[in-house]
Amino acid sequence: MVVYNKESGTFEYIGEPIYLNHERDLADIDEFLASIRSWLARNDRLTLKSIFESMDKENFGELSEAKFEQALLKIGVRLRQAEKRIIKDVLDPRNIGFLKYRPLVKELQGIP
Protein backbone atom coordinates (compact mmCIF):
# COMPACT_ATOMS: atom_id res chain seq x y z
CA MET A 1 0.00 0.00 0.00
CA VAL A 2 1.21 3.50 -0.84
CA VAL A 3 0.55 6.39 1.57
CA TYR A 4 1.51 10.04 1.77
CA ASN A 5 4.14 10.90 4.40
CA LYS A 6 3.38 14.44 5.58
CA GLU A 7 6.78 14.82 7.28
CA SER A 8 8.81 14.24 4.13
CA GLY A 9 6.15 15.26 1.60
CA THR A 10 6.53 11.98 -0.29
CA PHE A 11 4.43 8.99 -1.22
CA GLU A 12 5.93 5.88 0.36
CA TYR A 13 5.28 2.16 0.38
CA ILE A 14 3.87 0.76 3.60
CA GLY A 15 4.38 -2.95 4.05
CA GLU A 16 7.06 -5.57 3.75
CA PRO A 17 9.63 -4.58 1.09
CA ILE A 18 10.12 -7.12 -1.68
CA TYR A 19 12.98 -8.27 -3.88
CA LEU A 20 12.65 -7.09 -7.47
CA ASN A 21 13.13 -10.69 -8.60
CA HIS A 22 11.86 -13.33 -6.18
CA GLU A 23 13.83 -16.26 -7.64
CA ARG A 24 17.35 -14.89 -8.08
CA ASP A 25 19.73 -11.94 -7.86
CA LEU A 26 19.50 -9.39 -10.63
CA ALA A 27 22.42 -9.88 -13.02
CA ASP A 28 23.32 -6.31 -14.02
CA ILE A 29 22.32 -2.66 -13.90
CA ASP A 30 20.09 -3.00 -16.98
CA GLU A 31 18.07 -5.74 -15.30
CA PHE A 32 17.86 -3.62 -12.14
CA LEU A 33 16.58 -0.62 -14.13
CA ALA A 34 14.00 -2.72 -15.98
CA SER A 35 12.81 -4.29 -12.73
CA ILE A 36 12.54 -1.03 -10.82
CA ARG A 37 10.74 0.62 -13.77
CA SER A 38 8.23 -2.22 -13.70
CA TRP A 39 7.78 -1.89 -9.93
CA LEU A 40 7.28 1.87 -10.15
CA ALA A 41 4.80 1.47 -13.02
CA ARG A 42 2.69 -0.83 -10.84
CA ASN A 43 2.96 1.65 -7.95
CA ASP A 44 2.77 4.91 -9.85
CA ARG A 45 2.18 7.15 -6.83
CA LEU A 46 5.59 6.33 -5.35
CA THR A 47 7.90 9.34 -5.56
CA LEU A 48 11.46 8.02 -5.74
CA LYS A 49 13.01 11.38 -6.63
CA SER A 50 11.25 13.11 -3.73
CA ILE A 51 12.29 10.37 -1.32
CA PHE A 52 15.94 10.66 -2.35
CA GLU A 53 15.80 14.44 -2.11
CA SER A 54 14.12 14.38 1.32
CA MET A 55 16.98 12.21 2.63
CA ASP A 56 19.71 14.33 0.98
CA LYS A 57 19.80 17.09 3.60
CA GLU A 58 22.93 18.71 2.11
CA ASN A 59 21.52 18.59 -1.44
CA PHE A 60 24.71 17.04 -2.86
CA GLY A 61 22.81 14.63 -5.12
CA GLU A 62 24.20 11.61 -3.32
CA LEU A 63 23.37 9.45 -0.32
CA SER A 64 25.37 7.15 1.89
CA GLU A 65 24.92 3.49 1.11
CA ALA A 66 22.73 3.09 4.21
CA LYS A 67 20.48 6.04 3.30
CA PHE A 68 20.25 4.89 -0.32
CA GLU A 69 19.08 1.48 0.88
CA GLN A 70 16.62 3.20 3.25
CA ALA A 71 15.22 5.19 0.33
CA LEU A 72 14.65 2.00 -1.66
CA LEU A 73 12.93 0.42 1.34
CA LYS A 74 10.57 3.43 1.39
CA ILE A 75 9.45 2.49 -2.11
CA GLY A 76 9.09 -1.16 -1.08
CA VAL A 77 12.28 -2.55 -2.66
CA ARG A 78 14.75 -4.77 -0.83
CA LEU A 79 18.17 -5.45 -2.36
CA ARG A 80 20.39 -8.51 -2.09
CA GLN A 81 24.14 -8.10 -1.49
CA ALA A 82 25.04 -8.78 -5.14
CA GLU A 83 22.48 -6.20 -6.29
CA LYS A 84 23.91 -3.63 -3.87
CA ARG A 85 27.37 -4.21 -5.39
CA ILE A 86 26.04 -3.74 -8.93
CA ILE A 87 24.37 -0.45 -8.00
CA LYS A 88 27.40 0.71 -6.01
CA ASP A 89 29.73 0.03 -8.96
CA VAL A 90 27.59 2.26 -11.18
CA LEU A 91 26.50 5.02 -8.77
CA ASP A 92 29.68 5.27 -6.67
CA PRO A 93 32.47 5.35 -9.27
CA ARG A 94 34.81 7.11 -6.80
CA ASN A 95 34.28 4.24 -4.33
CA ILE A 96 33.78 6.57 -1.36
CA GLY A 97 30.56 5.11 0.05
CA PHE A 98 28.19 7.72 -1.39
CA LEU A 99 25.88 6.84 -4.27
CA LYS A 100 24.84 9.49 -6.78
CA TYR A 101 21.08 9.11 -7.12
CA ARG A 102 20.39 11.79 -9.73
CA PRO A 103 21.65 9.71 -12.69
CA LEU A 104 19.36 6.89 -11.55
CA VAL A 105 16.37 9.22 -11.28
CA LYS A 106 17.08 10.72 -14.71
CA GLU A 107 17.40 7.26 -16.26
CA LEU A 108 14.09 6.18 -14.72
CA GLN A 109 12.46 9.36 -16.04
CA GLY A 110 13.81 8.65 -19.52
CA ILE A 111 16.18 11.62 -19.53
CA PRO A 112 19.58 10.82 -21.11
Condensed to tens digits (0 to 9), the pLDDT of residues 6-60 reads 988 889 998 899 999 999 999 999 999 999 999 999 988 888 899 999 999 999 9
The CA-atom distances, in angstroms, between 95 and each of 8, 16, 38 are 29, 30, 28
Q: Is residue 103 part of a domain?
A: yes
Q: Is residue 93 part of a domain?
A: yes
User: Distance between CA 67 and CA 1 in Å, rounded?
Assistant: 22
* 99 backbone dihedrals φ, ψ, rounded to 5°: -100, 130
Write the CATH number for 85.
1.10.238.10
Q: By residue range, what is the domain housing residue 75? A: 20-109
Say what the pLDDT of residue 8 is.
82
Q: Is residue 67 part of a domain?
A: yes
Q: Is residue 10 part of a domain?
A: no
Continuous H helices in 1-112:
29-42, 48-55, 65-74, 81-91, 102-109
Direct distance between the N- and C-terminal alpha carbons of the chain, in angstroms, rounded to an integer: 31
Q: Is residue 43 part of a domain?
A: yes
Question: Per the structure, how many domains does the chain have?
Answer: 1
Q: Is residue 4 part of a domain?
A: no
Q: Is residue 7 part of a domain?
A: no
pTM across the whole model: 0.88
Condensed to tens digits (0 to 9), the pLDDT of residues 49-101 reads 999 999 999 999 999 999 999 999 999 999 999 999 999 999 999 999 999 99
Q: Is residue 3 part of a domain?
A: no
| DSSP character string of 40-56 | HHHTTT--HHHHHHHH-
